[in-house]
Amino acid sequence: MTARLKGRRREVARLLGRFADWAATDTAVEAVILVGSYARGAERMASDVDVVIVTSDPDRLARSDSFAPVLRGAAHLRDARWGPVRERRYRLPSGLQVEIDLAPREWLAVPLDAGTERVLRDGYRVVYDPNGRMDATGVGAR
């Protein structure tokens, strides 16, 4: 592993710590989950960070960008919708791209939707989950 990738991993670890701290201050946030290549330990320098925020109010979070301080000077790149999930993509000053997916609490409803199950079975890591929502899904972390 290169020194650059090690540095990128440290940057992502700090970012996830800030997400956990922020989530604990917002009562609408029910869970923060890392998915994608960083969750699987298969990241490369070109990989983005995929963060799912499970919330009781995704529209408010999308409008307010209350998580913006976590991103520390990131540039907003684009928004998209994937069914009930609202995606917001940012580029940090380091060049690292962060995809934030704002998912309604129903995204984790059991039985899981096929798309949700596919995302989670591909690998995830819990960043914040004070009520054990991820344990209730029956999908073990990888």
* Domain chopping of the chain, boundaries: 3-129
Average pLDDT in the chain:
92
Among 120, 114, 10, 9, smallest CA distance to 54 is for: 120
pLDDT at residue 81 is higher than 70: yes
CA 68 from centre of chain: 13
Q: Are 139 and 112 in contact (CB under 8 A)?
A: yes
Structure confidence at residue 36 (pLDDT): 95
Q: How many residues does the chain have?
A: 142
- 89-112, pLDDT tens digit by residue? 999 999 999 999 999 999 999 899
Res. 142 pLDDT band, cuts 50 70 90: low
CA distance 69 to 56: 20
Q: What is the pTM of this model?
A: 0.94
- 1-22, pLDDT tens digit by residue? 799 989 999 999 999 999 999 9
CATH assignment of 3-129? 3.30.460.10
Structure confidence at residue 133 (pLDDT): 86
